[in-house]
Amino acid sequence: MNGTTVTPATAPRRVNWLKGALVASLAVNLLIAGAVAARWYKGPPPERYARLTQAQLIPRFFFRDLDRARRMELMAVLKAQDKDIRDGRQAVKVQVMALADALETEPYDEARVKSAVEGFTAKSEALFNTGADAALAVIGKLTPEERKLMAQHLRNREDRGRKPQNDKTPDGP
C-alpha cells in the first residue's frame, strides 16, 4: 500500500420519523400534564350565576373567593329569581322582534316603531329592576367582611385596564 488510508464511505443519515413522533408525543403529554396540574393547583372554576341584570352589580370573581357552602347559599338567592329574570329576558326579545317586524312593514309606520322601542325600554327597565332586587337580596345577606370583599372586587373591576393616577400637581408637567 502506498500509505493512504481508505475510510469506509458513510451512508447518508436518514431522517428517523420515529424519533420525531416520540418528541411530538412527549410534547403533547407534557401539555396535558401541565393542564391537569394547573387545574389541580387552581381548583375547579367558580360556579357562576351571571345573568345580564346582575353582571354589573355582583362581580363574577367575588363568588370565587367564598367557600363553596357560602357561595351556594348566596347563589340560591339569585336562582330564586331566575324565573322572573328568564321571563323578563323573553319579554325583551319579544319587543326586539316587534321592532324588527315594524321596520319591515310597508308603508313605514313610525307610530308602530315608536311603540316597539317604548315597549323594549319598559321591558328592559323591568328586567333590570328584577336584577337589582336580586342583587340587593344577595347584598343584604353578606357579612361585613364579604361586603368589603365585594367592594374590593367592584373597585378592581372598574380599575381593570387602567393605569393608576399619579400624584402630579396641576402645575407639574
For the domain made up of 47-159, the CATH class stated in words is: mainly alpha
Question: Above 50 in pLDDT, residue 98?
Answer: yes
pLDDT tens sequence across 50-79? 444 554 678 777 888 888 888 888 888 888
pLDDT of 44 = 62
pLDDT tens sequence across 99-131? 999 999 899 889 999 999 999 999 988 888 888
Higher-pLDDT residue of 110 and 167 is 110
Cell of 159: 380599575
Question: What's the pTM value of the predicted model, to 2 decimals?
Answer: 0.54
For residue 114, give the nearest of 91, 122, 88, 106 by alpha carbon. 122
- Residues 132 and 57 sit within 8 Å (Cβ to Cβ): yes
Cell of 99: 321592532
What stretches of 41-172 adopt beta strand conformation (E)? none
pLDDT tens sequence across 13-28? 666 888 888 889 999 9
Q: What is the CA radius of gyration of the chain?
A: 31
Cell of 124: 328592559
Planar angle of CA 46, 58, 68, nearest 5 degrees: 30
